[in-house]
Amino acid sequence: MTSKRLLDKTLAGVRGTGAGNIVYGGNYCTKTNEHISAKAGGVLTRKKAPATVNGFDTQIVDTCPLQELSKETCPNGNHREKHNTKKKAIYASEEEEREVGPGEVLKCNNCTHRLSLTGQRQEDHMQVDSLNSLRSMLPLHVTDVLAEEIYASSHIPVPRNRKPSGHADKEVMAATVLTTLSTSPLVLNPSPGASALWALLAGGVSETSCRGWKESLSASYSSSTSGNWSWDASDQSVPSTPSPPLSTDVSKSFLIYSQGEDNIEEAESTHFLFEDPIPRKRKNSMKVMFKCLWKNCEKVLSTSSGIQRHIRTIHLGRNGDSENSDGEEDFYYSEIEVNMDTLTEGLSNLTPTSPTTICPPPVFPLGSDMAQSKSATVINSPLSQSAPSTLCHIRTDHAYQATAPVSIPTVSSEPLNSHSAISVSWQSPSIIFKSQPGAHVGILSSGEKRQPVTHTISKTHTTTISTPKPSTGTRKPRGEAKKCRKVYGMEKKDLWCTACRWKKACQRFTD
DNA sequence: CATGCCGGGGG
DNA sequence: CCCCCGGCATG
| Span CA (A510) to C1' (B2), Å | 19
User: Closest nucleotide to A481's CA, by C1' atom?
Assistant: B4
Percent of chain A with pLDDT over 70: 13
**What's the mean per-residue pLDDT of chain A?**
42
Which of chain C's bases lie under 7 Å from a protein CB? 3-7, 9-11
A485 touches strand C (CB under 7 A): no
> What range does the domain containing A203 cover?
3-243
Residue A265 in domain: no
Per-residue model confidence (pLDDT) at position A507:
82
* A167 domain residue, yes or no: yes
Instruction: Using pLDDT thresholds of 50, 70 and 90, give the confidence band for residue A368.
Output: very low
In a domain, residue A211? The reply is yes
Window 252-271 of chain A: CB closer than 7 A to strand C: none
Q: Please report, to the nearest 10 degrees, the dihedral formed by the alpha carbons of residues A317, A322, A324, A325 taken in order.
A: 10
Residues 450-469 of A with CB within 7 A of strand B = 450
Q: State the pLDDT at residue A155.
A: 38
DSSP 8-state class, residue A291:
E
Domain boundary among A211, A243, A275: A243
Residue nearest to nucleotide B4 (CA to C1'): A478
In a domain, A160, yes or no: yes
* Nearest to A42, CA basis, from A71, A104, A84: A84
CB A358 within 8 A of CB A392: yes
- pLDDT tens readout for residues A52-70: 333 333 333 333 333 333 3
Q: Which residue is nearest to nucleotide C6 (CA to C1')?
A: A503
pLDDT exceeds cutoff 60 at A267? no
Q: From the Cβ of A282, is strand B under 7 Å away? A: no
Q: Indicate yes or no: strand B within 7 A of the C-beta of A491.
A: no
| Distance in angstroms: CA A408, C1' C8 | 32
Could you say which of A213, A243, A273 is where a domain stops?
A243
Q: Residue A503: pLDDT above 50?
A: yes
Give the residue from A193, A216, A243 where a domain finishes.
A243
- Alpha carbon distances (Å) from A140 to A214, A365, A420: 11, 54, 43
A477 touches strand C (CB under 7 A): yes
Residue A334 pLDDT more than 70? yes
Q: Is A289 among the domain residues? A: no
**Mean pLDDT across A211-227:** 36
Nucleotide nearest residue A477, measured CA to C1': C10
SS3 A290: strand
**A287 inside domain:** no
Q: Is residue A128 part of a domain?
A: yes
Is the CA virtual torsion A121, A126, A130, A133 positive or negative?
positive
Q: Which residues contact A110 (CB under 8 A, 6 or more apart)?
A: A16, A19, A20, A21, A22, A23, A24, A26, A37, A38, A40, A41, A44, A230, A231
> Distance from residue A310 (CA) to nucleotide C4 (C1'), in Å?
74
Q: Label residue A490 by pLDDT band (50, 70, 90).
A: confident
Specify if A472 maps to a domain.
Answer: no
Residue A501 has pLDDT above 80, yes or no: yes
3-state secondary structure of A336: strand
- Sheet with A300-301, strands from edge to edge, namely A300-301, A286-292, A333-339
pLDDT reading at A487 higher than 80 = yes
Query: Is strand C in 7 Å reach of the CB of A482?
Result: no
Q: Integer distance in angstroms from the first to the last C-alpha of chain A?
A: 68
Decide: CB of A498 under 7 A of nucleic strand C.
yes
Number of domains making up chain A: 2
Nearest-CA neighbor of A449 among A468, A488, A476? A476
- Give residue-wise pLDDT tens across range A376-396: 333 333 333 333 333 333 333
Amino acid at A179: T
pLDDT band at A139 (very low <50, low <70, confident <90, very high): very low
Return the bridge partners of A116, or none.
A105
pLDDT per residue over A144-182, tens digit each? Answer: 333 333 333 333 333 333 333 344 444 445 444 444 444
Q: Which nucleotide, over all strands, has the C1' atom closest to the CA of A478? A: B4
Q: Are A306 and A332 a contacting pair, CB within 8 Å? A: no
Most confident of A284-298, A322-336, A453-467: A284-298
- Provide the CA A23 to C1' B8 distance, Å, integer: 56
The strand pairing partners of A336, in sequence order, are: A289
Which nucleotides on strand B sit less than 7 A from a protein beta carbon?
A: 3-8
Beta bridge partners of A291: A300, A334
